[in-house]
């Protein structure tokens, strides 16, 4: 949906987009995603998450992310940046209209050519509000711990605030609008617009657009998903300035 998911976030992807959205998950699920970067040889990302719905104490999720990206050519071959993220996310209702959520994450990263990895802790805080029967708002502040600690001495900006609105006039159609890097801490502010249309056969069609505010960033996405019994299978393609990323996901609900 072009990254316009902060106010939608109704599945395992809420761990990344908006942890408060986990409260919308009604059944336990295990989800996995693989993303392949077309213009970076052998670069890929993987994500696995287990989500437990609300049982009175809130909805939670355990997840692991792995990234093998940014290839660099060395005399003995191509080396990559390896990243591991282990996180726990929790969402809990504070009223009939408002849900708060957050996550704590341990990240471990090894740069190309380095024999050692560097670890750090971080976390997100998030919220979701039901404005009406058809309109929902979401907000996420990513890497809050990095902002407060400022352990890089200002050498590397941290913290990505996402805000979004989602409009669902009926169960078949969802339209969403997001703002990314709203505080411009990363210098990459952008507007994202996306939509999903669900067919009666369990098929969902999705598309989205992104446009930079202070830069020339332009990207688009399209994809589809299908529900078969307790399984969901999905595919998405990210084009434009994403330079071609193929993403495939499988979710098992039980």
pLDDT category at 149 given cuts 50, 70, 90 is: low
Q: For residue 88, which of 75, 74, 101, 77 has the smallest C-alpha distance?
A: 101
Q: Which segments of the chain does DSSP mark as H helices, in order?
A: 14-17, 144-149
pLDDT category at 155 given cuts 50, 70, 90 is: low
Predicted local confidence at residue 28, as pLDDT: 98
Q: For residue 167, which of 195, 140, 207, 205 has the smallest C-alpha distance?
A: 195
The helix/strand/coil state of 245 is strand
pLDDT category at 42 given cuts 50, 70, 90 is: confident
First to last CA, the chain: 26
Predicted local confidence at residue 11, as pLDDT: 96
Q: Say what the pTM is.
A: 0.91
Domains and CATH numbers, the chain: 14-253 (2.40.160.40)
- pLDDT tens for each residue of 77-120: 788 899 999 999 999 999 999 999 999 999 999 998 888 999 99
- On the question of pLDDT at 150 being above 70, the answer is no
Token pair in block for residue 213: 């505010």
């Amino acid at each position: 949906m072009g990254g316009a998911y902060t106010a939608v976030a109704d599945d395992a992807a809420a761990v990344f987009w908006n942890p408060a959205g986990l409260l919308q998950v009604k059944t336990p699920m295990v989800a996995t995603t693989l993303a392949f970067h077309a213009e970076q040889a052998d670069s890929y990302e993987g994500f696995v998450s287990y989500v437990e719905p609300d049982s009175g104490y809130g909805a939670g999720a355990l997840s692991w992310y792995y990234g093998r990206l940014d290839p660099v050519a060395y005399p003995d071959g191509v080396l990559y940046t390896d990243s591991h993220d282990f996180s726990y996310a929790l969402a809990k209702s504070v009223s009939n209209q408002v849900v708060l959520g957050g996550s704590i994450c341990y990240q471990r990263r090894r740069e190309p050519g380095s024999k050692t990895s560097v670890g750090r802790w971080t976390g997100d805080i998030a919220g979701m509000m039901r404005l009406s029967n058809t309109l929902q708002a979401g907000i996420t502040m990513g890497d809050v711990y990095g902002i407060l600690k400022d352990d890089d001495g200002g050498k590397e900006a941290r913290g990505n605030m996402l805000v979004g609105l989602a409009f669902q006039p009926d169960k078949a159609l969802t339209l969403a609008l997001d703002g990314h890097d709203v505080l411009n801490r990363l210098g990459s502010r952008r507007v994202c617009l996306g939509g999903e249309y669900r067919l009666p056969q369990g098929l969902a069609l999705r598309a989205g657009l992104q446009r930079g505010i202070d830069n020339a960033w332009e990207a688009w996405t399209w994809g589809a998903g299908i529900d078969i019994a307790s399984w969901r299978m999905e595919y998405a393609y990210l084009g434009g300035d994403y330079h071609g990323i193929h993403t495939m996901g499988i979710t098992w609900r039980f």
